[in-house]
Amino acid sequence: MGIVARSVDYLSKALGLPETDRRVKEWPFMNSPGAVLSITFVYLLVVKHGPKWMEKRRPFEFPRLLLLYNLNMVALSFYMCYEFVYVSIVDKYQFGCQAVDTSDRPTALRMASVAWWYFFSKIIELLDTVIFILRKKYKQVTFLHVFHHSTMVCCCWITAKYMPGGEKFVPGSINCFIHVFMYLYYGLAALGPSIQKYLWWKKYLTKLQIIQFVIVVVHAAYSLTLEPCDFPYSINVFMIVYAGFLLMLFARFYRQSYIKHSKLSEFSKGD
């Protein structure tokens, strides 16, 4: 075992996380954090140097490929949302303090599987940033965008490795539900101006994302009040801090993009 892997194991024990789930040990990326950290590092290099590489190049336009990519992400998000909800209903999951079922029961394995796919989808989603850079849509590559994409890969890897299931079905299912509509929007937007004029509902996606983080914070805080609880205390504390920070960033983005922009437009019309 490498130094990085040992360090992660020591850190996981210090945070009170369980041992690596035996069912996922041999699954792709689950053996060691090396590959995930490498992918994240390369992603950040692309973010840093990609725009410079594109300086003397024309924007790449590939509408059919974009449509195909986004429709596939819609399908994957729908599948994951369905699996999260289905298993939670069949196994009668609680809203708060739901322990991970580490058995080999079919539904427990389905939950572990969708937790892995949820993690892997975050690696795929790094392509969103690459696409923005190739199309020279640099305004989309904000601190919020990069922070969210890069950190979600690592956070979801931890969940898939140590806690593939349990009460984290709540943020997972909500996030996948929102991503169905988000990637549908991106797919339709790729068809060009003739379709884009009908996509007036973009700001409501940001509202849904804000509501999502409010629910995640409330859910984690509620779970902390339930004792005894077999789900790691430290993870719920982390979720409150992490989701709270994202909530602040998304709220700020919404205010700057829609509220202030709307006021400026009204002022301009008044002139």
Active centre residues (catalytic):
148
Tokens of 76: 């994957």
Q: Are the C-beta atoms of 23 and 102 separated by less than 8 Å? A: yes
Look at residue 176 and give its three-state secondary structure: helix
One-letter amino acid at 144 equals: L
Compute the distance between CA of residue 60 and CA of residue 57 in angstroms, rounded to an integer.
8
State both tokens at 4: 């990085």
Amino acid present at 234: S
Helix segments in the chain, DSSP class H? 3-14, 34-53, 63-90, 106-124, 126-134, 143-162, 169-189, 193-196, 202-224, 233-254, 260-270
What angle (nearest 5°) sits at the alpha carbon of residue 66, between those of residues 54 and 55? 5
